[in-house]
A = this chain, B = another copy of it.
Amino acid sequence: MRSDGRRVDQARPVKITTNYNKHAEGSVLIEVGDTRVICTATVEERVPPFMKGQGKGWVTAEYSMLPRATSVRNQREAAKGKLGGRTMEIQRLIGRALRSVVDLEALGERSITLDCDVIQADGGTRTTSITGAFVAMAIAMDKIVRERNLNRFPITDFLGSLSVGIIQEKPCLDLNYEEDSKAKVDMNVVMTGHGKFVEVQGTGEEAPFSRQELDALLALAETGIQEMIREQALALGPIAERIKGASHAARS
């Protein structure tokens, strides 16, 4: 049993509030336990310079934590005048993961920026951001498809993410902050609705891990992420059907 009473293979409760922001083309407030992230999707009718003239779109992400998202206040990166390494690593990860399920040709020369702002942190902020950003992106995509009459839905599969780790020799799913601090091995996994891996990032700074441990962690992640994807589908309602259709088409 874990400190908050969960089983080792049990994720925290998830709550996804769609259309949380009145300005953004897509938005959610996602809560996984006490971790809360606002994800907004912004559509712009232009692509970055390195993508120009290829007839393809672009998806990118930015990540930030409010100073008091954590138990000790963090100095703002805007005040420091630069982004930290952790922030850059996370926002590169989010963007890369989302692009893996986007059909950039179908999107056309426009870009979607996913802003993931952590308003309260309790472990798993990067995986929660990915899961939430996917939903915000899907809402924005649906808006584009309807307003611009795209002939393909530009999302090819669902995408969810969770962390796993080894605490006192036991592989556990979805670590909270307290658990994360004690874990010897920490792994973030991103998977598609069809159960393929998009990102596997495992780190054993405290203690290297064996192949068997790796296998156990991946198995936990697989089950947990499919549960996250079911929550995404519920939150998306009819849009979920469009993703499933596009996903089916992409595979046939």
Do B119 and A68 touch (CB < 8 A)? Answer: no
Do A62 and B85 touch (CB < 8 A)? Answer: no
Do B203 and A96 touch (CB < 8 A)? Answer: yes
The answer to whether A99 and B40 touch (CB under 8 A), given A68-B23, A115-B68, A214-B200, is no
Contact of A120 with B by CB under 8 A: yes
Chain B contacts of A205 at CB under 8 A? Answer: 96-97, 99-100, 198
Contact of A81 with B by CB under 8 A: yes
Do B79 and A81 touch (CB < 8 A)? Answer: no
Q: How large is the interface on A (under 10, 10 to 19, 20 to 34, 35 or more residues)?
A: 35 or more
Do A67 and B42 touch (CB < 8 A)? Answer: yes
A87–B44 Cα distance when bound, in Å, is: 25
Return the chain B residue nearest A62 by Cβ. B76
Do B218 and A197 touch (CB < 8 A)? Answer: no
A41-82 residues with Cβ-Cβ distance < 8 A to B are 42, 44, 62, 64, 66-71, 73, 76-82
Among B21, B78, B82, B100, point to the contact of A208 (Cβ < 8 A).
B100
A79–B54 Cα distance when bound, in Å, is: 26
The answer to whether A113 and B73 touch (CB under 8 A), given A38-B66, A211-B218, A218-B211, is yes
Residue among A68, A85, A91, A115 facing the most chain B CB atoms (10 A cut-off): A68
Return the chain B residue nearest A156 by Cβ. B208
The answer to whether A115 and B67 touch (CB under 8 A), given A85-B92, A192-B208, A200-B200, is yes
Chain B contacts of A91 at CB under 8 A? Answer: 85
Do A196 and B218 touch (CB < 8 A)? Answer: no
Do A68 and B85 touch (CB < 8 A)? Answer: no
Contact of A176 with B by CB under 8 A: no
Chain B contacts of A120 at CB under 8 A? Answer: 21-23
A25–B106 Cα distance when bound, in Å, is: 40
Return the chain B residue nearest A187 by Cβ. B200
Do A42 and B73 touch (CB < 8 A)? Answer: yes
The answer to whether A68 and B21 touch (CB under 8 A), given A78-B78, A78-B82, A91-B85, is yes
Residue among A23, A71, A76 facing the most chain B CB atoms (10 A cut-off): A23
Among B77, B115, B214, point to the contact of A197 (Cβ < 8 A).
B214
Contact of A180 with B by CB under 8 A: no
Contact of A27 with B by CB under 8 A: yes
| 6 CB < 8 A contacts A-B | A76-B78, A79-B83, A89-B92, A97-B205, A196-B210, A211-B218
